Amino acid sequence: MAKIVVGKFSYIDDVEKAINELLNSGYSKKMIKFISPFPVEDIMEKLSGTDSPVKFSVFVGGVLGFSAAIALVSVTSLAYVLPVGGKPILAWIPYIIVMFELTVLLGSLFNLLGVLGFSRLPDPFLFLGWRPFHPEFTDDKFGLAVVTDKVDEVYAIFQRNGAEEVNEYAFNV
């Protein structure tokens, strides 16, 4: 039965060596999760890359915001005709401000939804304390979590590469 093996490390180069050994032993990148108190770009690059699909949600939000602004200003102007200061009824130049603001507003809201959705947050399991998580991973330690049914092998790789503590869990990290 597959388990989660979590190793606690103090040094970045130990983590990198452990990741290299895991990859060389046939573990796929998707089976390995790196946990750190701050972003470590070169390890992120190695495991999951630095690009993110959040950009698509931002794009959708921006387009929706822009379209909604066009609809809002044009429908309201035509529904209640109010000639002001010699401006045309559909005065697109002053409306640019509203269009820009709504584009930014919905783009930002969709950005928020995107980052939460793709990161699978909020995570009620961690919130309720059901998932294996070491408090020091937010402080000064680094974690490696591997999904495996060869628990002993991963244990050995972690210990060979300087893990200070190794634990196994039944739940996903």
Partner 1 sequence: MAKDNNKANTVETVNDKGNIVSSNDRRLIRVDIHEGMSPQALEYGRQFSLSEISEEIFKVSGKASLAYFLGLGFCIALVLAGVITFGVLVIKGMGASGFTPPAFWTLYIVNFVFWVGIAHSGTLISAVLHLFRSKWRRGIFRIAEAMTVFAVMTAGLFPLIHLGRQWYFYWLVPYSNRGMWVNFKSALMWDFVAVLTYFTVSLIFFYVGMIPDLAVFREKAKGIRKFIYSVLSLGWKGTDNEWRHYNRAYMFFAAFATPLVVSVHSVVSLDFASGLVPGWQSTIFPPYFVAGAIFSGMAMVVSIITPLRKFFKLEKFITEWHYDHMGKIILVTGLIVTYSYIVEFVLAIFSGNEYEFQQFIYRVSGDYKFPFWLMVFCNCVFPLLYISRRVRVNPWLSFVISIFVNIGMWLERFNIIHISLSYDFLPYAFDVYKPKLAEWIITAASFGWFFMWFLLFAKFLPVISIAETKELVPKPVRENKH
Residues 104-123 that bind partner 1 (CB under 8 A): 104-105, 107-109, 111-112, 114-116, 118-119, 121-123
**Rounded-to-integer distance, Cα 45 and Cα 125, Å:** 27
Side chain identity at 133, as an amino acid letter? F
Least Cβ distance, residue 152 to partner 1 (angstroms): 20
Question: Using CA of residue 10, residue 16, residue 21, residue 22, what is the dihedral sign?
Answer: positive
Give the residue among 1, 9, 52, 50 at the shortest CA–CA distance from 145: 9
Per-residue burial over 42-76, b = 16 or more CB atoms within 10 Å of its CB, e = otherwise: ebeebeeeeeeebeebbeebbebbbebbeeebeee
128-167 residues near partner 1, rule: CB under 8 A:
131, 133, 135, 137-140, 162
Specify the stretch interacting with partner 1 by CB under 8 A; choose among 10-18, 146-154, 163-171. Answer: 10-18
Query: Which of 137/155 has CB closer to partner 1?
Result: 137
Query: Which of 82/170 has CB closer to partner 1?
Result: 82
* Burial grade of 110 (CB within 10 A; 0-12, 13-18, 19 or more): buried
Cβ distance 114 to 53 under 8 Å? yes
The residue within the footprint of partner 1, chosen from 5, 6, 27, 34 (CB under 8 A), is 34
Query: Which of 47/166 has CB closer to partner 1?
Result: 47
Per-position x/- string for 67-106, each x denoting binding to partner 1 as judged by CB under 8 A, each - no binding: -----xx--xx-xx-x-xx-x---x--xx-xx-xxx-xx-
Q: Is 31 in the site for partner 1 (CB under 8 A)?
A: no
* Total residues in contact with partner 1, by rule CB under 8 A: 77
